[in-house]
Structure 1
């Protein structure tokens, strides 16, 4: 600390008194065991929801994702719950969905490693449901260039995932129309997966009511998905 003196003659007592206090404080700090900040200052959540939004929805969870997270949180009042919106374009350029697969897989693996007691719920709507479904796959789909697709997650990662809840997952007919491989859930996740489809939604059923695939059409279904996840938690 720089001290600026404005007088040529300085009273020694005025200097020694604060100097003595400073030395005493220094000794006290050095002789006292100081506990470093604990990693638990930002504890791992009990539950983490990863959600991939649907096509053309703004970055974030999307309407269905927010409703699902809220419904699940209401069912788990005694547990801490965090949400992670999968980072990907979510545009009509479906091949860019691989960015979502990569981001989701990286986050899932990182959470499993750094927060082993946290239970994850993987979820998504429409294109996001396809992204999350592919994220669970244990093999790269036939006809897909393996250099563009991230490697499958290690099998043991599935132990950290409590449930997979997919809304409006594009069926094989829809994926063929889009020129994409069919969505296949990996064997480590099939027993903990539920796929929910709104009545007459042409993307996930044989129906032809295109308005049934709008995010708002799933408002009455999210609670079913939340109940399924909560029961597995």
Structure 2
């Protein structure tokens, strides 16, 4: 999310139920056939969803997180992919982001089963991650986000400024498969994810050191992660230090 993004709009994603209304009946993700060869597989694959209004790519918060993660995982090859979605003020498009993210994750898992997948998202992008990882009963009627066996390939999840925290549904508490491997950070009184009203805080995750904190958490879990089961066979909220 850019410096001039309006947090109250992102907050509306959770507080007014805009996203809830548009997700009903959006189930039915389609797995994507493998697209990478074993030779092209990296040790770690990061998939990040940017915030509202950020240019195409992984966004400023996502880039700070990835840069820090590279420093924490020196010697490991790290590939990075962005969720392809508008990230606009039309929060209905978060569903499109969820579909794209779920398809990418399943493709990574099928193509490179030994790769440790890391999921990340900021603001509206955090909501996208919620939609593919949270308990289906808690994701506003979205349905089953991804096949359960895909979770074995995901080493860690990092979300920043997650709107679901604002309404008492943090990913860490509402995802049986991913909650324990998730770090969910809210910057002080960021109104998008807390009862506070420090709007500037929503744009300051890198400056507050929270992308570094998330990278440290993720790196520890990547180091201890073991994946490899073929796809076809196949959490506690953190307070900023």
TM-score tier by shorter-chain length is 0.7 to 0.9
Residue 53 of structure 1 pairs with residue 41 of structure 2:
no
Task: Tell me what 2:149 maps to.
Answer: 156
Q: Secondary structure at the match of 1:121?
A: strand
CA contact (8 A) 1:139 1:152 kept: yes
Q: Structure 2 vs 1, CA of residues 232 and 65 (structure 1 numbering), >3 Å: closer, same or farther?
A: same
Task: Tell me what 1:123 maps to.
Answer: 120
Q: Structure 2 vs 1, CA of residues 50 and 195 (structure 1 numbering), >3 Å: closer, same or farther?
A: same
Q: Secondary structure at the match of 2:40?
A: coil
- In the TM superposition, 1:17-36 aligns within 5 A as none
Residue 75 of structure 1 pairs with residue 72 of structure 2:
yes
Residue 168 of structure 1 pairs with residue 161 of structure 2:
yes
CA contact (8 A) 1:46 1:79 kept: yes
Task: Tell me what 2:197 maps to.
Answer: 208
2 CA distance for matches of 1:76 and 1:143? 36
1:205 Cα shift?
A: 1.3
Q: Secondary structure at the match of 1:123?
A: strand
Q: What value does the CA root-mean-square deviation take over the aligned residues?
A: 1.9
2 CA distance for matches of 1:217 and 1:123? 13
2 CA distance for matches of 1:191 and 1:198? 20
CA contact (8 A) 1:126 1:169 kept: yes
1:196 Cα shift?
A: 0.6
Structure (1 or 2) with the larger CA radius of gyration: 1
- The one of 215, 218, 228 aligned to 2:206: 218
2 CA distance for matches of 1:212 and 1:203? 10
2 CA distance for matches of 1:136 and 1:171? 13
Task: Tell me what 1:9 maps to.
Answer: none
Moved over 6 A (4+): none
CA contact (8 A) 1:168 1:201 kept: yes
Alignment size in residue pairs: 183
Q: Structure 2 vs 1, CA of residues 163 and 200 (structure 1 numbering), >3 Å: closer, same or farther?
A: same
1:223 Cα shift?
A: 0.4
The C-alpha deviation readout for 1:165-184, integer Å capped at 9, x for no partner, is 11110145469xxxxxx565
2 CA distance for matches of 1:103 and 1:44? 20
The C-alpha deviation readout for 1:75-101, integer Å capped at 9, x for no partner, is 111110000110011011111100110
Q: Structure 2: which 5+ runs fail to align?
A: 1-36, 223-241
1 CA distance for matches of 2:139 and 2:107? 27
